[in-house]
Amino acid sequence: MDDSLLFSLKLSVQVATVATVFVVIVGLSAAYLLSRKNFSGKELLDILLTLPLVLPPTVTGYYLIVLFGRNGLLGRYLYAWTGWSIMFTWYAAVLASVVVALPLMVKTARAAIESVDENLIRASYTLGHSEYWTALKVILPLARKGIIAGAILSFARAMGEFGATLMVAGNIPGRTNTMPLAIYSAASSGDRSQATIMVIVFTLFSGFFLYFANKLSRRVL
Amino acid sequence: MGLSVKLKKIVNGFSLDAEWTIGNELAVLFGYSGAGKSLTLQMIAGLISPDHGFIHLNERTFFDSVSGKNLPPQERSCGYVFQDLALFPHMTIRENILYGAHGLSKVYREQQAANMLKKFRITGLENKYPSEISGGQKQRVALARALIRKPDALLLDEPFSALDNPLRAEMQNFLKEIRREFPIPIVFVTHDILEAYSLADKIIIYANGSVAQSGTPKEVFTKPASREVEQLVNTRERLLQSMELLPCIGKY
């Protein structure tokens, strides 16, 4: 395995891991809000969080440029303040992965939280426990199956992320070329042998990941 | 002292309008399913808010529609036993009981848990999960969990309805036994007249969302206030009637 291949694989794993951490935190909070709270704009939030599942990743990527680009709605303030822009860094790849993987986490975790027996939650309240403690000790443990499944799906989605990443992080060799991007470069530049090796490595890695994910979920459940 | 409620609530076209007061006694809310008995318990516990009225327990106001006061369930200190018991399936029996000991100091909690295990005859089951124990044992765990922090009132929503008759009688005796140690208002919901008769200090009869009559079991049985109450409580006659019908069924 040459250095560039190793770099791409490492970057992909790094991006997907960091993205999954964010996805779990944000997705779980959103799933909890959507399943147990009533507030105005709930429907809108639900739609916003689900849209990246339906939209082509290029469209999601385009929105991210509009929001976070150097002249973007939010990005311009960040740039004016720090002189730094997230675009074309590996952080941008993380951002793209978070946004496209979030719907998977929210959907799965929400279904799991909603399946927890309401009487158990009420019992916890009548026993004097706060909503926060009840979420921690009753709801999350009983919804763990769906939460773990959501995290696994999100990691898998982040590993395979291509379109939105290409839009916001570019395909800079040695900096932002994750494995899917590197494979695209190799294939489109006619480097068949490099592409073949990378495809095999990526497939093997994904296979092992699924094997361990299955093993983990069997042990936890 | 005691529990005093006045509740008005309209849910899904059903209208509840009930008012009653009890002391440190066991009151049975009796009536057909859908008469508003469980709804009453949920409002006392703070799981549902009444539209109008008040809930007072020992000089504390849980709810008052005039002043706008409405304590959350966490601050009401009402032990609640659900019809399906609501034991936490992912916790052991010991963890379930300890979960009810919120607010007690750590040392005292352990001591109390050991006490409760003994008192409720569940010693030896501490490390089992709810799915691994019998129906009667689950009942006792649910009671122990509701009572460990010495609540100010105990609310029981048809807790024995899923048990077969011998076990049911055993649990009723058990409840009579342990209630001596907990001199608090106990509200017991049932639609079984024999259960009501055997447990109650006071029977409060619900019919169509309001209180049709209340009094000691004897009062209610001997002097039903209305035709409706008479029909509800008159099991002996109904039993005899059904026995008279038996030969007829045999004939045809």
Domain A3-220: give its CATH superfamily: MetI-like (1.10.3720.10)
Spatial CA neighbour of B95 closest among B129, B61, B121? B129
The values of phi and psi at residue B207, to 5°, are -145, 125
**In chain A, domain spans:** 3-220
Percent helix / strand / coil, chain A, rounded to 5:
80, 0, 20
Distance from CA of A153 to the nearest CA of B (A): 25
User: From CA B27, how far away is CA B200, in angstroms rounded?
Assistant: 6
Residues in a beta bridge with B19 = B6
Chain A residue with minimal CA distance to B41?
A126
CA A176 to chain centre: 17
DSSP secondary structure string for all residues of chain B: --EEEEEEEEETTEEEEEEEEE-SSEEEEE-STTSSHHHHHHHHHTSS--SEEEEEETTEEEEETTTTEE--GGGT-EEEE-TT----TTS-HHHHHHHT-TTS-HHHHHHHHHHHHHHTT-TT-TTS-GGGS-HHHHHHHHHHHHHTT--SEEEEESTTTTS-HHHHHHHHHHHHHHHTT--S-EEEEES-HHHHHHH-SEEEEEETTEEEEEE-HHHHHHS-SSHHHHHHH-HHHHHHHHHHHHHHHHH-
Q: How many CB pairs under 8 A join A and B?
A: 54
Give the pLDDT confidence score for residue B129 in this predicted structure.
97
Task: Give the H/E segment covering residue A41.
Answer: none
Interface test with A, best of B80, B104, B112, B116 (most A CBs within 10 A): B80
User: From CA A181, how far away is CA A192, in angstroms rounded?
Assistant: 15
Residues in a beta bridge with B210 = B17, B207
Asked if residue A155 lies in contact with residue A20, where contact means CB atoms within 8 angstroms, the answer is yes
Instruction: Determine whether the interchain pair B99/A129 forms a contact, defined as Cβ–Cβ distance below 8 Å.
Output: yes
Give the pLDDT confidence score for residue B252 in this predicted structure.
43
Q: How many CB atoms lie within 10 A of CB B116?
A: 23
Q: Under DSSP, is residue A164 helix (H, G, I), strand (E, B) or coil?
A: helix
Asked if residue B146 lies in contact with residue B86, where contact means CB atoms within 8 angstroms, the answer is no
Residue-wise pLDDT for B93-105, tens only, equals 999 999 999 888 8
CA A215 to chain centre: 21
Q: What is the ipTM of this complex?
A: 0.89
CA A15, A205, A9, A96 dihedral sign is negative
Instruction: Determine whether the interchain pair B47/A130 forms a contact, defined as Cβ–Cβ distance below 8 Å.
Output: no
Chain B residues within 8 A of A120 when measuring between CB atoms: 86, 88
Interface test with A, best of B78, B88, B104 (most A CBs within 10 A): B88
Residues in a beta bridge with A101 = none
Sheet strands side by side (includes B202-207):
B69-70, B60-64, B52-57, B3-11, B14-22, B210-215, B202-207, B26-30, B186-190, B153-157, B78-81
Give the pLDDT confidence score for residue B250 in this predicted structure.
44
Token pair listed for B249: 């069924």
The values of phi and psi at residue B108, to 5°, are -65, -35
What residues in chain B have per-residue pLDDT under 50?
A: 248-252
User: From CA B173, how far away is CA B92, in angstroms rounded?
Assistant: 26
In sequence order, what E strands does chain A have?
A: none
User: From CA B250, how far away is CA B181, in angstroms rounded?
Assistant: 50
Token pair listed for B112: 């109390």
Helices A179-188 and A192-220, interaxial angle, to 10°? 160
Chain A residues within 8 A of B99 when measuring between CB atoms: 124, 127, 129, 137
What residues in chain A have per-residue pLDDT under 50?
A: none
Give the pLDDT confidence score for residue B230 in this predicted structure.
83
User: From CA B111, how far away is CA A14, in angstroms rounded?
Assistant: 49
Residue-wise pLDDT for A126-168, tens only, equals 999 999 999 999 999 999 999 999 999 999 999 999 999 999 9
Asked if residue B95 lies in contact with residue A126, where contact means CB atoms within 8 angstroms, the answer is no
User: From CA B204, how far away is CA B29, in angstroms rounded?
Assistant: 5
User: From CA A103, how far away is CA A95, in angstroms rounded?
Assistant: 14
Query: pTM for the full model?
Result: 0.87
Judged by a CB distance cut-off of 8 A, whether residue A138 touches chain B is yes
The CA-CA-CA angle for residues B77, B81, B85, to 5°, reads 140
Token pair listed for B197: 């008769």
User: From CA A134, how far away is CA A140, in angstroms rounded?
Assistant: 9
Residue B159 identity: P
User: From CA B174, how far away is CA B167, in angstroms rounded?
Assistant: 10
Give the pLDDT confidence score for residue B228 in this predicted structure.
82
